[in-house]
Structure 1
Amino acid sequence: MRSSSTSSRLLAATALVAALGLTLAACGGGDDDSSGSSGGSGKAADPGSLKGQTITYWASNQGTSLDNDKQVLTPELDKFTASTGIKVKLEVIGWADLLNRILAATTSGQGPDVLNIGNTWSASLQATGALLPWDSTAFSTIGGKDRFAPAAIASAGAAGKDPAAVPLYSMAYGLYYNKKMFADAGIANPPTTWDELVADGQKLTKDGHYGLAVEGANGAENIHHVFTLAKQRGASWFDDKGAPTFTGPQQVAAVKQYVDFIAKDKIAAKGNAEYVQNQTITDFASGKAAMMMWQSAATSIKAHGMTPDQYGVVPVPTQTAGATGDAGVTSMVAGINVAVFNSTKHKAAAEAFVKFLTSTDEQKILNGKYGSLPPVTEAQSDPAFQTPDLKVLAGVLQKSAAPLPQVANESQFENLVGPAVKDLFAEAAAGKAITDDTVKAALVKAQQQMPAS
């Protein structure tokens, strides 16, 4: 997730990449020895020939802090080095900075060999030519494309093109609810429709506690939820040619419904309009809010002292009960992909590292520690991923999740509409009326700033 404070810089970097039509990428880390290049043979390089090389790895913040990520990853990287002789220089980058760093690397020629990316960025970064295409030859070096869940592969690049990255961690949104707060309010079951959620939320909003917590200043969270709410209305944010369709009535209705949790329904605290970095989890785990919509949150909830028996997880509501098809979409296909910069000087070493990260054993370890789901299907049967909450989220990925638009301008969409929703939340918190016209004006402004398809 990213704050909107970097939006202008991200847009500038993205626009520069598009304007120059760049197909080059960041130089790989380590020394200048190019003997590790695989040459596209489709065969994994002899580990002995890679010994002594150093690759750089930009990891995304998956744990409770950057230091926590280092604690999780360092012993695994040491394991990789011990088995291959390849050293890994690790940098963990927070979500507020990651896309900005990546876009800057595509233009400066200074970047890592291997990096994590949010899967929603796959098509945008693919369009720059900065990332190694994972064609059948590249996939053969890590065991083949069919090892990965189809939904995860669908969020790795534009349709009809070779994926720009490889799925690493899979996640989905669920509705988390506090069992005791529901029982105390006389609510027998969690909501399945939005009308039920608002009604339940209003019963739960009292004495300084709220029915729902949202992350109003978090642009990525805003995008994820308005994507789902629009999808449930049969609408997308881009047409079939990749042109933005931000101002349609269904898109306006989706944004208004989300902002109304503060504006009209008043089931989320006004202070939520300023939440940008996981404060939602703190409010939920502390009992300040009875519900939240979040991605694979078990590890973070536990870190805040809440035990699994104290909460339940169900799919996010739909507009009508039992909805199917687009109307039944309850989550974007969430997740993290791992990519290789196309001009790395250590291609074989980078591919060997991706093979390690996506090996069945390592998938069990890393996803188990982070509370996410393995996109490698062979790892999914491990008992660690059969907990009640993860089984619900796995079902969401299989049955009711859809990928965000895999178009070249997706990152600009995130960095324009996400902050627009943030501003609407801020207006709602200040007591200003949020109407269809208010929302449409914000979306018109965002669409006017979009570059040509």
Structure 2
Amino acid sequence: MRLFRTTALAAATTLALSALAACGGDGGSGGGDAKTITYWASNQGADLSVDKKVLAPELAKFEQQTGIHVKYEVVPWSDLLKRILAAATSGQGPDVLNIGNTWSASLQATGALQEWDDASFAKIGGKDRFLASSLSATGAAGKTPAAVPLYSLAYALYYNKKRFADAGIDKPPATWSELVATGKKLTKDGKYGLAIEGANNSENAHHAFVFAKQHGGDFFDAAGKPTLDSQAAVEGVTQYVNLLAGDKIAAPGNAEYMQNESVRDLATGKAAMLLWQAAGTALKARGMKEDDYGVAPVPVQSGAPGQGAQVNSMVAGINIAMFKNTKNKDGAFQFVKFMTSDAEQKTLNTAYGSLPSVKAAQEDPAFNTPERSVLRKALAESAAPLPQVAAESQFEDLVGAAMKELFAQAAAGKPVTADDVRKRLQKAQQQMPK
């Protein structure tokens, strides 16, 4: 465990320190200036420029209200985790940062993040303001949270209504067998039934988690030990990879798709279906109107979505955290309070197509659209948090990379068997901290 983390952190530190130097040294946890804080925002929009357009007026509003200037950087998801780990090691990071909520326990284990005990939550209005499902992904069970929910998300099935109508399909699939059958009807003339991102490790790991749940298992046992090569994990990953490899309802080129490329394919009609978190805003940015796409729950093996084997989404979302060594702790607390206020929760989540993590804000009629109603229901009734254990980030990286290899194998025209999946997951298991 120590060897893996040390190696990963050392490599990440080198990359992050060079990046910090390149951006003029905005790190350093605030630099001791009581009128300035630094903030790393995650990429929530269709591209980085969208985030800057969304955030700039809100950060100006915060400065006007408090007199505190925010130096911010929007960090791509491909770089965010390694940048955070490097900052945790070097002490040269921002005052406030966004983190993927699935990383909460992994980053908590570094000891670098501010703990959010009852007194800390009281400074931002109290813990009971936040959704219970979102709070479930803020740190290891039984420990004081290491972050605060900011944007809440869940997966849904998005589909191109025109492609469905042209094929004579009048409703979205509710089970995986229905999805495969629907996908085969839609796979013709150079177009495909479904778009996936086979080279996106995080997306791969998220879907692997859901499929394993639906097969009655998980990637960690009750004690938090990794079980990456369990039978349920093998069955779940095999079923997901087979959407390209065996069922052939996804294009071979999808094996190389990274962030947001599958969204583009749904918008252009190249693909008819997509499994994604709050895709509406990104689809509109690519020219789709709200009436052009439909939104439905992610399919399950049988029956209706729910808990246990009917889980159809992870508890997705973004948390906001503070580095413990910030030299402007008061300013950092004020900023988190501002970002999680009812008013900002409405503004920011409206812009990003996500759901507020604050109960009062989520009751706003703006979050009762057809898309957001599906997401809200999934988050409340049929989503499960990824295991909040220290090794979660390694799980995402190793399982996601194993699936990337399997997709590449399928794209090369080679069959992918359950034994192939088992061998790759066994290799990943061997690399996990014990």
Paired position in structure 2 for 1:239: 221
Paired with 1:178 and 1:120, the residues of 2 have a C-alpha distance of 29
Amino acid at match of 1:178: N
C-alpha change, 1:378 and 1:271, in structure 2 (3 Å) is: same
Amino acid at match of 1:279: E
Question: Any residues of structure 2 matched to 1:213-252 within 5 Å, and which?
Answer: 213-252=195-234
Deviation at 1:244, TM superposition (A): 0.7
C-alpha change, 1:171 and 1:280, in structure 2 (3 Å) is: same
The reply to whether residue 286 of structure 1 matches residue 281 of structure 2 is: no
Paired position in structure 2 for 1:32: 32
Paired with 2:61 and 2:246, the residues of 1 have a C-alpha distance of 53
The reply to whether residue 138 of structure 1 matches residue 115 of structure 2 is: no
Query: Which of 369, 383, 407 does residue 425 from structure 1 map onto?
Result: 407
C-alpha change, 1:250 and 1:15, in structure 2 (3 Å) is: farther
What TM-score comes out, normalization by structure 1 length? 0.90
What RMSD in Å do the two structures reach over aligned CA positions?
A: 1.7
Amino acid at match of 1:12: T
Amino acid at match of 1:166: V
The reply to whether residue 326 of structure 1 matches residue 321 of structure 2 is: no
Question: Any residues of structure 2 matched to 1:139-288 within 5 Å, and which?
Answer: 139-288=121-270
SS at structure 2 position matched to 1:78 = helix
Query: Which of 52, 65, 68 does residue 83 from structure 1 map onto?
Result: 65
Deviations 1:123-173 (A, max 9, x none): 000111111010000000000000000000001111111111000000110
Paired with 1:100 and 1:91, the residues of 2 have a C-alpha distance of 15
Paired with 2:141 and 2:181, the residues of 1 have a C-alpha distance of 40
- Unmatched 5+ stretches in structure 2: 13-25
The reply to whether residue 348 of structure 1 matches residue 330 of structure 2 is: yes
C-alpha change, 1:70 and 1:9, in structure 2 (3 Å) is: farther
The reply to whether residue 13 of structure 1 matches residue 13 of structure 2 is: no
Paired with 1:222 and 1:172, the residues of 2 have a C-alpha distance of 15
Deviation at 1:31, TM superposition (A): 3.2
Deviation at 1:243, TM superposition (A): 1.0
Paired with 1:30 and 1:97, the residues of 2 have a C-alpha distance of 21
Q: How many residues were matched structurally?
A: 419
Paired position in structure 2 for 1:395: 377
Deviations 1:11-67 (A, max 9, x none): 8334899xxxxxxxx98533335xxxxxxxxxxxxxxxxxx5211000000011112
Amino acid at match of 1:240: A
Deviation at 1:325, TM superposition (A): 2.6
Deviation at 1:246, TM superposition (A): 0.8
User: Structure 1 residue runs of 4+, over 6 Å off?
Assistant: 8-11
Paired with 1:324 and 1:86, the residues of 2 have a C-alpha distance of 45
Query: Which of 370, 373, 376 does residue 352 from structure 2 map onto?
Result: 370
State whether residues 27 and 345 of structure 1, in contact with CA within 8 Å, keep that contact through their aligned partners in structure 2. no
Counting aligned pairs with the same residue, the percent is 63
State whether residues 307 and 381 of structure 2, in contact with CA within 8 Å, keep that contact through their aligned partners in structure 1. no
State whether residues 115 and 145 of structure 2, in contact with CA within 8 Å, keep that contact through their aligned partners in structure 1. yes
Paired with 1:179 and 1:72, the residues of 2 have a C-alpha distance of 29
SS at structure 1 position matched to 2:335 = helix
Query: Which of 31, 53, 60 does residue 71 from structure 1 map onto?
Result: 53
Deviation at 1:183, TM superposition (A): 1.8
Amino acid at match of 1:371: G
Amino acid at match of 1:297: A
Amino acid at match of 1:275: Y
With 176-185 and 206-215 compared, the bigger mean Cα shift is at: 176-185
Amino acid at match of 1:118: G
- Unmatched 5+ stretches in structure 1: 1-7, 18-25, 34-51
Paired with 1:65 and 1:190, the residues of 2 have a C-alpha distance of 29
Paired position in structure 2 for 1:45: none
Query: Which of 80, 83, 86 does residue 101 from structure 1 map onto?
Result: 83
State whether residues 29 and 54 of structure 1, in contact with CA within 8 Å, keep that contact through their aligned partners in structure 2. no
Paired with 2:364 and 2:50, the residues of 1 have a C-alpha distance of 23
Query: Which of 108, 111, 118 does residue 129 from structure 1 map onto?
Result: 111
State whether residues 205 and 267 of structure 1, in contact with CA within 8 Å, keep that contact through their aligned partners in structure 2. yes
Paired with 2:285 and 2:5, the residues of 1 have a C-alpha distance of 31
Paired position in structure 2 for 1:405: 387
